[in-house]
Amino acid sequence: MNTSVHDKQTQYNERQHGTGRDHSSAGWACFGSGTALQAGAAKYSISQSELKMIGKAFEQKMLENMNHLLFLHPFMQEEDFVKAVFQGMLGNGHLLPSADSAQKSIEQESLKLSADPEEPLVEPLSPLWCRLNLRRAKAEGLPSHVVAGLMHTACPEPAYTRRDVADACRSLAQRMDFALPDDLVQDRLLDDSWLPSHSEAYRSCCRPAYRVIPSAWIPCMEAVLAISRQSEGSGRLLVTLDGPCASGKTVLAQRLSEVFSASVVHTDDFVIPHARKTAERLSIPGGNCDSERLLEEVILPFRQGASVRFRRYSCSLDRLLPEETLPCRRILILEGSYSSLPVFREQTDIRLFLDTPLKIREKRLLERESPESLERFRALWIPLENAYFSAYGLPDSSSIVIRTEA
């Protein structure tokens, strides 16, 4: 890979526009037939044809990412390429210390770094993993404990082995028109005691300083930065997370709570009782939410610094459950549809809106709901949500929109 910067940039442009050599039929197998991936496919009833499609999509995305890395870092050598593929498929698990150890390591390294606001905050490696650059993180004021939290949260299940990485290196190298030394791929990569490292040329020119985190965080980084900045003070912080059904709000709220040690309250626990579900009430945008009780039991006490005691509502039992006390934490995430109602807004510090494609949301609903429940979603709950979004112009200009594709 000892090519000039100009040659590499030309090759990158050719590949991006499809003018390079065509290897489109090669390589998907190592991405779609990994041992761990096959086991996961059996666990979740994924067919071999679906797995083949997943493998092809994974390889194409990884090819784009490797080309982009080469464009950003033209001094990449063979070992740097192998390290990137290794991290993109195996992630950070091979070197992942405890959260406390990771935080201390990041703190020590960051002290020696100069902040760089021009450096990309994240560099994608694969659909599973990416690099978070510490110089940019320092410029953004991202604390070490948050970076450590991102490393440890939302980590995907292992999908590949070292053998899969070796096969992927060969496939990607073929499609990118360069050769890798056999001993690097065949011997060292398959040795469980060997870990890839950056070349001296790359270290000297690029001064790498990063941590590997799950790619699931990429679309969320604006939200992560906003919460991080506004949580620096001593006061309480209320974050709302809205969006259509099955967009992934509950999962994201849980992940954010782990990174920021936040409490989570779900609007699903504050649906109005059956007796109050009149046509008049449901005609009000967001009227399905018991906003009065949510405000009184949770939001106002939290903002006032008081203890939060509340009762969840059970739709199946049509009654309030026993009272519980919310853990006393500085950050509260109010998750769920209707969390952006006007009555909540003046109490809210950060408003997030999760936007996920309809086809993905429908697939999730099919997987988690019974046919009867799914039909009720389509006939009642989804139209009510859409009326609410339309009535209040959501997401609006004050919302941080998180757009996900999975």
Same domain, 264 and 211: no
* Domain assignment of residue 137, yes or no: yes
Q: Per-residue pLDDT for 296 more than 80?
A: yes
Q: How confident is the model at residue 287 (pLDDT cuts 50, 70, 90)?
A: very high
Mean pLDDT rounded to a whole number for the chain: 88
- pLDDT at position 52 is 75
- DSSP category for residue 325: E
The C-alpha atoms of residue 130 and residue 183 are separated, in whole angstroms, by 26
The mean pLDDT value for 389-406 works out to 94
* 179 HSE (CA, 13 A, CB side): 3
Mean predicted confidence (pLDDT) in 19-29? 37
Q: Are residues 246 and 387 in the same domain?
A: yes
Q: At residue 24, does pLDDT exceed 90?
A: no
pLDDT of residue 17 exceeding 50: no
| 43 occurs within a structural domain | yes
At residue 135, does pLDDT exceed 70? yes
Q: Tell whether 221 is covered by a domain.
A: no
Whether residue 349 has pLDDT greater than 70 = yes
Give Cβ neighbours of residue 171 (< 8 Å, ≥ 6 apart).
Answer: 23, 26, 27, 30, 31, 59
**pLDDT confidence of residue 39:** 63
User: In which element (H, E) is residue 348 found?
Assistant: none
pLDDT tens across 88-127, in order? Answer: 999 987 666 788 899 999 999 999 999 999 999 999 999 9
Residue 123: in which H helix or E strand, if any? strand 122-124
> Where is the domain boundary, 167, 183, 216?
216
Instruction: Answer yes or no: do 105 and 197 share one domain.
Output: yes
One domain for residues 254 and 376? yes
Residue 208 to residue 211: CA distance in whole angstroms: 10
**pLDDT value, residue 278:** 93
Q: What's the rounded Cα separation, in Å, for the pair 331 and 47? A: 42
What is the residue whose two structure tokens read 């849980």?
A: 254
Would 197 be classed as within a structural domain? Answer: yes
Question: Do residue 338 and residue 381 come from a single domain?
Answer: yes
Query: Is omega for the bond preceding 383 within 30 degrees of 0, making it cis?
Result: no
3-state SS class at 40: helix
Shared domain for 134 and 173, answered yes or no, is: yes
Residue 195 in any domain: the answer is yes
What's the domain count of the chain? 2
Residue 53 lies in domain: 5-216
Residues 152 and 299 in one domain: no
With respect to residue 223, please indicate whether it lies within any of the assigned structural domains: no
Same domain, 294 and 375: yes
How many percent of the chain have pLDDT more than 90? 68
- Report the C-alpha gap between 334 and 270 in whole angstroms: 11
Residue, of 372 and 389, whose pLDDT is higher: 389
- Residues 10, 27: Cα–Cα separation, whole Å: 23
Task: Give tens-digit pLDDT for 208-257.
Answer: 999 999 999 999 999 999 999 999 887 999 999 999 999 999 999 999 99
In a domain, 190, yes or no: yes
Task: Read off the pTM.
Answer: 0.88
SS3 368: helix
pLDDT at residue 43, rounded to an integer: 59
* pLDDT above 80 (res 199): yes
Asked if residue 366 belongs to a domain, the reply is: yes
- Residue owning tokens 């709570």: 257
Mean pLDDT for 286-301 is 97
DSSP character for 187?
A: I
Cβ-contact 226, 203 below 8 angstroms: no
**Would you mind telling me the total number of residues written for the chain in this entry?**
406
Q: Looking at 236-240, 313-317, 377-381, which range is the least confident one?
A: 377-381
Residues in a beta bridge with 214: 129
Asked if residue 325 and residue 381 are part of one domain, the reply reads yes
Give yes or no: residues 209 and 125 share one domain. Answer: yes
Quick one: pLDDT at residue 80? 95
Say how many CA atoms lie within 13 Å of 258 toward its Cβ: 15
Residues 263 and 351 in one domain: yes
Asked if 103 and 156 sit in the same domain, the reply is yes
What letter would DSSP give residue 113?
P
